[in-house]
Amino acid sequence: MLSQFLLLQIMARNIDINLKISECLSHEDVITTLSPLFQAGKGDCVHLILDLTNTDGAHDVYPDYLLLIVSALRYLDRFEIKPSGNILYNPLKVTYISRMDFFTNLNVDFAEEIKRKDSAGKCIEICRFDKDTISEIYDSIIKILDSFPSIELTVLQGLGYCFYELLDNVLNHSEEGHGWVVAHYYKAESTIRIMICDTGIGIHKSLTTAPKDDRFKSYTEEEAISECINDKVTNGKGMGFGLYSTANLIKDCESELVIYSGGKKLHWGQEGKKVEDSPYWQGTAIFLELRSDICIDPDKVVDYRTDCADQYNDMFGQEHSLDDLW
């Protein structure tokens, strides 16, 4: 027993993470700093310095950056690792970060200086979802976005279909059983930012392990992430239609889709598809930046295989007051 204990002590690693959020200008900046966490194992020690100073408000720190931090740190739960270290912040400039439930989802005690109001129609916090909560969280987020009359209805009708498919993909393919999601509407820029992520097995392993189509077995990591937005690319646990329809939505909205999985990144936008090396992300992180002021054909998003508009209207039917419409 003593020799086993000494062996564990020798093998245990110290992982140091020093992240200053104000210096993170992209998802890659955040992932690069967090990536060593995915090398952790049982018995390892993680020391974290998280600097949140000089950040407050949605334009100082994007909520999708916060989501990546939460997801990566909560990845350590499976190894029963509780990071040591410090979170640095200015109490007068951390209101937004706290309001997004950043500290709550990290199980960090934080005394808010504000009195929270009902979030309906105002704020979409970082959420953990699983098979028991997926429908409730989906409904909540779509209803909040629907409460903004300035968001083009046809965009919401297309998003309403794609968004649930992306959430469901996490539960069907990640083999983790849960995922994380956050969204924010930037009215001045007519933009919706959404990120959905997990720390599961990733696209490559999901697609190449017992695939529906034998040709997927030999896919490289680059081929797997490149093909994942094509129609009927699936391991058989789904239809292979969620990412495909999302890619259609992005194209029609003149917007941007970015997928991080393993050591690869896929970018899909108006200039087409680009796959390149990326800092390592365990699992899959999907980012959408949607223009919210373009009128589209929502049924075209799904190749007219279903009626997105009618489905959305049946579920959420917009009921804005006259004051909202003028």
pLDDT tens digit sequence for 298-317: 999 999 999 999 999 999 97
Predicted local confidence at residue 15, as pLDDT: 97
Q: Is the pLDDT of residue 260 over 80?
A: yes
Predicted local confidence at residue 217, as pLDDT: 84
Q: Is the pLDDT of residue 245 over 50?
A: yes
Higher confidence at residue 69 or residue 234? 69
Interstrand relation of 14-20 and 45-51 (parallel, antiparallel or unpaired)? parallel
Segment 211-228 shows an average pLDDT of 86
Cα separation, 272 vs 286, in Å, equals 17
- CA angle in degrees (0–180, nearest 5) for 104-261-231: 115
- C-alpha dihedral, 36 to 37 to 38 to 44, nearest 10°: 110
DSSP-derived secondary structure for 3-31: HHHHHHHHH--EEEEEEEGGG--SHHHHH
Segment 119-144 shows an average pLDDT of 87
Domain ranges of the chain: 13-108, 122-318
**Percentage of the chain lying above the pLDDT 90 cut:** 73
Predicted local confidence at residue 96, as pLDDT: 86
Predicted local confidence at residue 304, as pLDDT: 94
Q: Is the pLDDT of residue 223 over 50?
A: yes
Cα separation, 199 vs 38, in Å, equals 9
Segment 197-223 shows an average pLDDT of 87
Take residue 157 and report the two structure tokens written for it: 């009708």
**pTM for the full predicted model:** 0.91
**Domain 122-318: which CATH class?**
alpha beta
Higher confidence at residue 61 or residue 298? 298
- Residue 123: DSSP 8-state: -
Cα separation, 63 vs 242, in Å, equals 23
Q: Is the pLDDT of residue 36 over 90?
A: yes
Contact 259, 225 (CB under 8 A): yes
Alpha helices in 53-209 (DSSP H): 63-74, 95-99, 102-105, 134-146, 153-173, 202-208
Q: Is the pLDDT of residue 324 over 50?
A: no
Take residue 105 and report the two structure tokens written for it: 């989802």
Nearest to 267 by CA among 182, 149, 162, 276: 276
Q: Which residues contact 96 (CB under 8 A, 6 or more apart)?
A: 56, 57, 58, 60, 61
**Percentage of the chain lying above the pLDDT 70 cut:** 86
Bridge partners for 286 per DSSP? 196, 259
Predicted local confidence at residue 117, as pLDDT: 62
Neighbours of 25 (CB within 10 A): 9
CA 275 from centroid of its chain's CA atoms = 19
Cα separation, 64 vs 127, in Å, equals 11
pLDDT tens digit sequence for 135-182: 999 999 999 999 999 999 999 999 999 999 999 999 999 999 999 999
**Span of 6-10, 73-77, 209-213, 254-258 with lowest mean pLDDT:** 6-10
175 phi, psi to nearest 5 deg: 60, 25
Residue 321 confidence class, pLDDT cut points 50, 70, 90:
very low
Segment 283-299 shows an average pLDDT of 97
What does the buried/exposed string (b/e) look like for 253-284 if buried means 16 or more CB atoms within 10 Å of the residue's CB? bebbbbbbbbbbbbbbbeeeeebeebbbbbbb
